[in-house]
Amino acid sequence: MEGSSSSQATREKTQAALSSVIAAVGLTTFKIIVGAVTGSLGILAEAAHSGLDLVAALVTFLAVRISGKPADEEHLYGHGKVENLSALFETLLLLATCAWIIYEAYQRLFVHPVEVEVSIWAFIVMAVSIIVDATRSRVLANAAKKHNSQALEADALHFSTDIWSSSVVIAGLGCVLLANNVKGLDFLKHADAVAAVGVAFIVIYVSVELGIRTIKGLLDSAPDGLVEKVTAVVKSVPGVSDVHKVRVRPSGAHIFIDAHVVMDAALPLGEVHTLTEKIQAEVRKIAPEADFTVHAEPPKKVEEPKVEPPKESAG
């Protein structure tokens, strides 16, 4: 039953990632064509961004498929870390995009100015981009929440910021349109390049946030507050006198937890096993996907201080 549930989760995550790949292909192609025709750096920047979105979506698609594989002799904790690696790869791609956008904006603002032709198609492509990004961000976010997938969550966060960056480009194109039709507003012709820089800084912010979370996952950093919650839950189970050495290790969509639990030394083995199952059930209420291992211990014996016999007097 558990294997079937895992297979279903992998299938649903893969479908969500595949929908993102298809959307990225369409948007990238559309933006490249319109950007080349209009000469808009803002749209070309968005096209480059969408192109890297496509690469990132492909990596995420492969990552969720590989991470769903069961543990084997070489990967005893499963393949969940592949999701963390895909998120790190996506972060590096985004930062590379930002560097290119800022460089091109500098060239257009201070070295080789380029006249931008604003057409209805420029606004249409960005409006379509916002609609598609909003749709796929919602799909990815729902799948990420349901299956606790860091790779899908990273993609959802990424595409939600695309909505804002596309809005910035639309604002830049609107300013260029005003400059072309209203005297005294020539300075607004540079708004397209400035908007591209705005896109870059939005992406840098998201990339840094994503990079920090990814590195934490690769370094096995425990989710904030989870150790304390697990400790409190285990202590609340009747029959448990103490708990210590609680360790949490995230791996993609899975979390591995182990803890040393102090129980009555007089309990029969069968009752110890039953109590262990109760503890695991309570912990899964706060961490449903957790693989929880309990190490049962008897209470430590308190050594009584040795009383030395009174010394006989020499007299």
The verdict on residue 305 lying in a domain is: no
The verdict on residue 248 lying in a domain is: yes
User: Which of 183, 202, 218 is the endpoint of a domain?
Assistant: 218
Task: Give the span between the Cα atoms of 32 and 202, in whole angstroms.
Answer: 21
CATH for 250 = 3.30.70.1350
The verdict on residue 71 lying in a domain is: yes
The verdict on residue 69 lying in a domain is: yes
Contact criterion met (CB below 8 Å) for 275 and 267: yes
Q: What is the pLDDT of residue 102?
A: 86
Task: Give the span between the Cα atoms of 40 and 172, in whole angstroms.
Answer: 10
Query: Do 256 and 202 have their domain in common?
Result: no
Contact criterion met (CB below 8 Å) for 129 and 26: no
Query: Do 268 and 120 have their domain in common?
Result: no
CATH for 20 = 1.20.1510.10
Query: Do 209 and 249 have their domain in common?
Result: no
Parallel, antiparallel, or unpaired: how do β-strands 240-251 and 254-263 relate?
antiparallel
The residues with which 226 forms a beta bridge, in sequence order, are none
Low pLDDT (below 70) residues in the chain: 1-7, 40-42, 46, 49, 76, 113-118, 150, 252-253, 301-315
User: Which of 218, 250, 268 is the endpoint of a domain?
Assistant: 218
The verdict on residue 124 lying in a domain is: yes
Q: What is the pLDDT of residue 313?
A: 57
**Is residue 79 packed enough to be buried (19+ CB in 10 Å), middle (13-18) or exposed (0-12)?**
buried
Q: What is the pLDDT of residue 67?
A: 73
Q: What is the pLDDT of residue 117?
A: 64
Query: Do 232 and 199 have their domain in common?
Result: no
Task: Give the span between the Cα atoms of 257 and 221, in whole angstroms.
Answer: 12
Q: Tell me the pTM.
A: 0.64
Query: Do 128 and 204 have their domain in common?
Result: yes
277-313 pLDDT, tens digit per residue, is 998 888 888 887 778 888 888 887 655 555 566 666 5
- 10 Å Cβ neighbour count for 66? 17
- 10 Å Cβ neighbour count for 2? 6
Range of the domain at 232: 226-297
Please tell me the total count of domains within the chain.
Answer: 2
The verdict on residue 202 lying in a domain is: yes
The verdict on residue 192 lying in a domain is: yes
How many residues can be counted in the chain? 315
